[in-house]
């Protein structure tokens, strides 16, 4: 199960390369697949793979979004710099760069609704 929101071909290429370079073992892949398949069998997803369609309109509803916002508020982690991080306490701004620096969806784990 590849849970990559975009560019799955790159993911597969990187994974293959990691396996060839022995950074990831086939045993680790097998373990992950076993755990995913076990849950899918427990949920009977192979016999009834499609969720109840009557709930489709509720996905992304205002009520669901409020629950999601509350979950974010309650699970947000703020790092306090007590000299552990390699940051000066005098820093007033931090410049974030990179491909996903301005992508709130990616910063939320890629599991947001647009």
Residue 86 lies in a domain: no
Residue 105 lies in a domain: no
* Composition of the chain by helix, strand, coil, percent to 5: 45, 0, 55
Residue 99 lies in a domain: no
Residue 83 lies in a domain: no
| Total count of domains within the chain | 1
105 contacts 4 by C-beta, under 8 angstroms: no
Residue 18 lies in a domain: yes
Residue 95 lies in a domain: no
Indicate whether this model's pTM tops 0.75. no
Range(s) of the domain holding residue 24:
1-74
Put residue 22 in one of left, alpha, beta given phi > 0 → left and psi -120 to 50 → alpha.
left
For 22-66, write each residue's pLDDT tens digit.
999 999 999 999 999 999 999 888 888 777 788 888 888 889 888
Residue 84 lies in a domain: no
Residue 107 lies in a domain: no
């Amino acid at each position: 199960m590849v849970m990559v929101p975009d560019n799955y071909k790159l993911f597969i290429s990187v994974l293959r390369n990691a396996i060839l370079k022995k950074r990831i073992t086939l045993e680790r892949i097998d373990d992950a697949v076993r755990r995913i398949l076990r849950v899918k069998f427990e949920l009977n997803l192979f016999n009834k793979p499609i969720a109840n369609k009557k709930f489709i309109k509720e996905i992304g509803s205002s009520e669901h979004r409020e629950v999601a916002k509350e979950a974010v508020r309650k699970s947000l982690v703020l790092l306090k710099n007590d000299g552990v991080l390699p940051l000066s306490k005098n820093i007033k701004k931090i410049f974030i760069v990179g491909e996903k620096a301005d992508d709130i969806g990616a910063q939320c784990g890629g599991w947001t609704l647009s």
